[in-house]
Amino acid sequence: MSIVLVVNSGSSSLKYQLLDVEAGEPLASGLIERIGAESGRATHSVPQPSGEVEKFSGDVEVADHDAAFERMLAAFAEHGPSLESSPPIAVGHRVVQGGARFFEPTVVTELVKINIDELSVLAPLHNPANLAGIRAAERAFPDVPHVAVFDSAFHQTMPPAAYTYAIDRALAEKHRVRRYGFHGTSHRFVSRAAAEFLGSPVEELRLIVLHLGNGASACAVAEGRSVDTSMGMTPLEGLVMGTRSGDIDPAVLLHLQRRAGLDADATDRLLNSRSGILGLSGHADMRDLEAARAEGDPASVVAFDVYAHRLRSYVGAYAAQLGRVDAIVFTAGVGENSAGVRAAALEGLDWFGVEVDEERNTSPERGARRISTDASRTAVLVVPTNEELEIARQTLEVVHA
Ligand SMILES: Nc1ncnc2c1ncn2[C@@H]1O[C@H](COP(=O)(O)OP(=O)(O)O)[C@@H](O)[C@H]1O
Ligand SMILES: CC(=O)OP(=O)(O)O
Ligand SMILES: [Mg+2]
């Protein structure tokens, strides 16, 4: 049994999973939220042999990532499984920005940490937290290898035409301004799982993967490689998200800076934290938005329509880039659970060979499934993502290499 601990540390949260990689099953998972706030929350879940999941949660106060790690270790000690009897042989870390430097999972060394730190200029919201998580984990697990798995890595196969911004070339090069793309671990995992579901080698398929979680991105996958993706230099570009605007005319920022007195930090907060469906409707959570929309709340109706409109635009754009689409694949929290978003995103595309079957789309079935009609030229699938398992697998590959 190869046990790997996977750590996904965000700016204010720590998500973790202890996995038996061969079985592909979590032995435990957890989430510590609102790190640094006065009252945080910790949840620790332990799947039971019966198939049920035992869940322990409580309010906690965690000042920083070190304290969050202590909290996680305490949860294992209290609720199991014991890390003494099932010790991880490695720790895999999600790191968001690997720049043009990291396109493979990488064993963490002092130099790698310096590089991750240095790449923080290209991901100020994500990399510092990722690094804090790595440092805390190294202190907690000093004797096992730590491996960084980069969200941007899968997109390093994009051609220059897809990753280049049309701005002054010298300035862009000096400051490494280009599109990097994110959610790559998920896009890679889901494109392979979709190929398996379709019974075809991924090398023969052209797919559009829609990862719709709190953050959301689309990816055009040709023959197993990312050829275009909607997130850019940072995870702000592209689709409408829970709190992020996605694509916007850059002149809007100039206008707001000149007319509304916003400085760089205020603009950053506006676009990353106060926009998206939250900014439009007051709801960052798609479930809340859909409930308010169902009650006819006008702002929620518009927010949903803007979200779906943007998605449809990217599906069309990537179909044009790919030239042929074998499957459109929905994944992550919204993509896996919202039949309404899936139907709205693909509405009116039957002329184009995309036909969603309403009954299949709204069926409560879990797991990888087809939601298109049998006549649909392009298959439409729902494929659950599992970023933690993919990180654990890549971690083991490096450790065993
Ligand atoms: N049943 C559901 N219907 C609609 N949206 C859902 C449902 N379940 C979860 N979601 C949405 O999924 C999103 C979170 O997705 P997730 O992939 O867990 O995000 P992240 O990993 O980025 O935090 C939230 O907006 C939540 O509302
Ligand atoms: C990169 C990114 O947007 O990640 P998340 O969806 O976890 O916010
Ligand atoms: Mg996620």
Cα(148)–Cα(131) distance, integer angstroms: 10
CA of 61 to the centre of ligand 3 (A): 24
Query: Domain for residue 125, yes or no?
Result: yes
Q: Are residues 81 and 144 in the same domain?
A: yes
Report CA dihedral (222, 226, 232, 236) to the nearest 10 degrees.
90
Residue 143's domain spans which residues?
3-150
The reply to whether 244 and 354 lie within a common domain is yes
pLDDT at 401: 84
If you write DSSP's letter for every residue of 198-225 in order, what string do you get? HTS-GGG-EEEEEEESSSEEEEEEETTE
Does 333 appear as a known binding residue?
yes
Residue with tokens 């096992």: 144
ipTM over 0.95: yes
Q: Within this chain, do residues 121 and 32 fall inside the same structural domain, yes or no?
A: yes
Pocket test for ligand 1, best of 286, 288, 382, 387 (most atoms within 8 A of CB): 286
What's the gap in Å between 174 CA and the centre of ligand 1? 38
Residue recorded with tokens 């694509």: 247
18 beta partners: 5, 28
Atom of ligand 2 nearest to the CA of 332: 6
Q: Is residue 241 part of a domain?
A: yes
Residue 10, pLDDT score: 83
Query: Which residue has the least CA distance to atom 19 on ligand 1?
Result: 213
Atom 9, ligand 1: which residue's CA is nearest?
333
CA distance 57 to 181: 34
Q: Are residues 18 and 88 in the same domain?
A: yes
Angstrom distance (rounded) from CA 323 to CA 228: 13
Residue 180 resides in a domain: no
The CATH number that applies at residue 25 is: 3.30.420.40
Mutate to test the pocket of ligand 2, among 183, 190, 391 (most ligand atoms within 8 A of CB): 183
Is there an atom of ligand 1 within 6 Å of 285 CB? yes
Answer yes or no: are the C-beta atoms of 378 and 357 closer than 8 Å. Answer: no
Among 146, 190, 196, which residue's Cα sits nearest to residue 392?
Answer: 146
**Active-site residue (options: 64, 66, 151, 247):** 151
- Let me know if 305 is a catalytic residue: no
Tell me if 172 is assigned to some domain.
no
Residue 394 lies in a domain: no
Q: Please check if 335 is assigned to a binding site.
A: yes
The whole-number mean pLDDT for each consecutive block of 10 residues of the chain, a chain of 401 residues, reads: 93 92 94 88 94 94 91 95 93 97 96 97 90 94 97 97 98 97 97 98 98 96 98 96 97 96 94 96 96 98 98 97 97 97 96 96 95 97 96 95 84
Residues 6+ apart with CB under 8 A from 152: 96, 97, 98, 99, 102, 180, 181, 182, 184
Using the 8-state DSSP alphabet, how is residue 37 labeled? S
Annotated binding residue 269: no
Any ligand 2 atom below 6 A from CB of 335: no
For the chain, how many structural domains are there in total?
2
Ligand 2 in reach of 182 Cβ (< 6 A): yes
Task: Among 91, 116, 150, give the residue marking a domain's end.
Answer: 150
Q: How many Å apart are CA 252 and CA 255, to the nearest integer? A: 5
Q: 228 and 79 in one domain?
A: no
Is residue 229 included in any domain, yes or no? yes
Which ligand is nearest to the Cα of residue 216, counting in written order? 2
Query: How close is the Cα of 127 to the center of ligand 2, in Å?
Result: 12
